[in-house]
Amino acid sequence: MPHRDGMNGDTETPPVQVGFIGLGDMGKPMAERLLAWPGGLVVCDLRPEVVEPFTAAGAKAAATAAEVAAQAEVISVVVVNDDQVRAVVTGPDGILSAARPGTVIAVHSTIADETAIELAAECARHGVDLVDAPISGGAGGAQQGRLAVMVGGSEAAYARLREPFRCFADLVVRAGEVGAGTRMKLARNLLHFVAFTAAGEAQRLAEAAGLDLRKLGRVVRHSDAVTGGAGSIILRDTTAPIPADDFWFPILSHVRNLGEKDLSLALALADRLHVELPLAQQAFTELGPGLGVGAGALAKERP
């Protein structure tokens, strides 16, 4: 992981020391993956019993965020909310009270994008980079090193974070400037929780039809693992309507036609069973426009 630098390529730059603040349900498995990082790890949490296994494994312990900043060049922050992030970064014993110029702070907590922008501006006055770097994949993904990290920040900050982050993530993307990481996380989670709501509708229909819900769940998880689920249709650079001569038009028109057929059959079944499916009804009318190919024949015909 060390890399070569300099004009003649013969100067080796040692890996940065990483700090980690917040060893909760998400932070703990992420930090555990960083124990193998060759630059070393400094951890900080208010609970000594959580810190002890890390020091036993070779990490350094810090009592405050300032102590982390005095040692680490890249600092990950995984706390609960915006107020805690502000306290960790700008409080009396916060990172900025001791951070050296060039330090990079990565906020993994899901906070408001405005908070990230505000804190980044304050950090910049101290020569410190702050990026918003929310994560997706849950504690299980952290334990397996399979998180996705969405970074909002400069190219230079992203370059410094990328290698240590690969200890706990197998996808690290730069979403854009500060705030963009949070916006990408919000868009991703919008899909997540709308899908959960749709799963509730599907279960109501299945239950009314006398089906075993656990078996339905097995089928859904199996097919989503094969097809990639809803993310498999997020393929284009824009949501604008697709011209008829575009490569994607026949592909996504086919998806729309299949979807409208299956949704019309599900809605007909729901009518017979007296089950309300508002999301399914909305999907039926908006699937084609959402795909960029317009409503199909079935959606145009249905009142």
Nearest to 172, CA basis, from 144, 138, 146: 146
Provide the token pair at 239.
């949501």
| SS3 state of residue 279 | helix
Last residue of a domain, one of 164, 184, 204: 184
Q: What is the CATH number of the domain that holds 172?
A: 3.40.50.720
Same domain, 105 and 251: no
Q: What is the CATH number of the domain that holds 272?
A: 1.10.1040.10
Provide the token pair at 274.
């007296």
Q: How far is CA 36 from the centre of its chain?
A: 23
Active site residue ranges: 185
Query: What global pTM score does this model have?
Result: 0.88
Instruction: Report the 10 Å Cβ neighbour count for 24.
Output: 15
Residue 200 lies in a domain: no
Q: What is the pLDDT along the chain (303 residues), one digit of tens a residue?
A: 444 333 444 445 688 999 999 999 999 999 999 999 999 999 999 999 999 999 999 999 999 999 999 999 999 999 999 999 999 999 999 999 999 999 999 999 999 999 999 999 999 999 999 999 999 999 999 999 999 999 999 999 999 999 999 999 999 999 999 999 999 999 999 999 999 999 999 999 999 999 999 999 999 999 999 999 999 999 899 999 999 999 999 999 999 999 999 999 999 999 999 999 999 999 999 999 999 999 998 988 866
Give me the domain span that covers residue 289: 235-301
